[in-house]
Amino acid sequence: MEKFVINGGIPLKGEVTPSGNKNAALPLLAACLLTDEPVVLHNMPNILDVLAMKNLIESLGVNISIANDNTWNIHAKEVRFADLDPDLCRKIRASILIAGPMVARSGELILPPPGGDVIGRRRVDTHILALKKLGVEVTYDRTFHFKAKKLVGGNILLDEASVTATENAIMACVTAEGQSIIRNAASEPHIQELCNLLNSMGAKIDNIGSNTLHITGVPKLHGCEFTVGPDYLEVISFVGAAAVTGGEITIHNAGNEYLDMIKLVFHRIGIDWVTSGNDLWVSAVQPLVIEPDLGNAIPEISVMPWPSFPTDLMSIAIVVATQSKGSMLFHDWMYPSRMYFTDKLVSMGAQIVLCDPHRCIVQGPSQLYGEKLESPDIRAGMALVLAALSAKGTSVIRNVRQIDRGYENVEKKLLSLGANIVREIE
Task: Grade residue 115 by pLDDT with cuts at 50, 70 and 90.
Answer: low
Q: Report which of residues 270 and 88 the model is more confident about.
A: 270
- Other CB atoms within 10 Å distance of the CB of residue 392: 14
Q: Which residues pair with 212 in a beta bridge?
A: 183
Mean pLDDT of 184-207: 97
Cis peptide before 336 (omega within 30 of 0): no
% the chain with pLDDT above 90: 84
pLDDT digits (tens, 9 = 90+) for 250-294: 999 999 999 999 999 999 999 999 999 999 999 999 999 999 999
Q: What CATH number did the domain enclosing 244 receive?
A: 3.65.10.10
**Cα–Cα dist 372/335, whole Å:** 25
Average pLDDT in the 352-356 region? 95
245: left (phi over 0), alpha (psi -120 to 50) or beta: alpha
Angle between helix 99-106 and 125-132 (nearest 10) = 30
Give the residue among 189, 141, 183 at the shortest CA–CA distance from 165: 183
6 and 89 assigned to the same domain: no
Local confidence band at 120 (pLDDT 50, 70, 90 cut-offs): very low
Tell whether 216 and 248 lie within a shared domain: no
CB 255 within 8 A of CB 230: yes
Residues 375 and 308 grouped into a single domain? yes
Break the chain down into helix, strand, coil percent, rounded to 5. 35, 25, 40
Query: For position 116, what pLDDT does the model report?
Result: 44
Do residues 272 and 240 touch, judged by C-beta distance below 8 A? no
333 shares a domain with 184 = no
pLDDT band at 118 (very low <50, low <70, confident <90, very high): very low
**Domain shared by 179 and 123, yes or no:** yes
Averaged pLDDT of the chain: 93
Provide the CB-side half-sphere exposure for 275 (13 A, CA): 12
Give the 3-state secondary structure of 284-319.
CCCCCECCCEHHHECCEEECCCCCCCCHHHHHHHHH
Residues 273 and 342 in one domain: yes
> What's the CA gap between 242 and 283, in Å, rounded?
8
Q: What is the pLDDT of residues 59-72, one digit of tens each?
A: 999 999 998 879 99
> Are the CB atoms for 41 and 72 separated by under 8 Å?
yes
Across the range 381-400, mean pLDDT stands at 97
My answer on whether 183 and 303 are in the same domain is: no
Single out the residue of 99, 95, 101 nearest to residue 116, CA to CA: 95
pLDDT at 364 over 90: yes
With cut-offs at 50, 70 and 90, classify the pLDDT of residue 124.
confident
Taking a C-beta distance cutoff of 8 angstroms, is the pair 188, 23 a contact?
Answer: yes
pTM (two decimals):
0.93
Q: Which of 233, 244, 248 is nearest to 364 (CA)?
A: 244
220 shares its domain with 208: yes
Output the furthest CA–CA distance in the chain (Å, rounded): 64
Regarding whether 159 and 277 lie in a shared domain, the answer is: no
Q: Give me the domain span that covers residue 26.
A: 22-227
Number of domains in the chain: 2
pLDDT exceeds cutoff 60 at 122:
no
Q: Give the pLDDT mean for 303-319.
A: 95
Residue 319 has pLDDT above 70, yes or no: yes
Q: Do 177 and 276 fall within a single domain?
A: no
DSSP per-residue letters across 310-345: -GGGHHHHHHHHTTSBEEEEEE--S-TTGGGGHHHH
Residues taking part in catalysis = 117
Question: Domain ends where: 227, 254, 273?
Answer: 227
Q: Where are the beta strands (DSSP E) in 26-106?
A: 39-42, 63-68, 71-75
In the predicted structure, residue 125 carries a pLDDT above the cut 90: no
Residue 123 has pLDDT above 70, yes or no: no
* 377 shares its domain with 268: yes
**Residue 203 and residue 339 in one domain:** no
pLDDT value, residue 121: 43
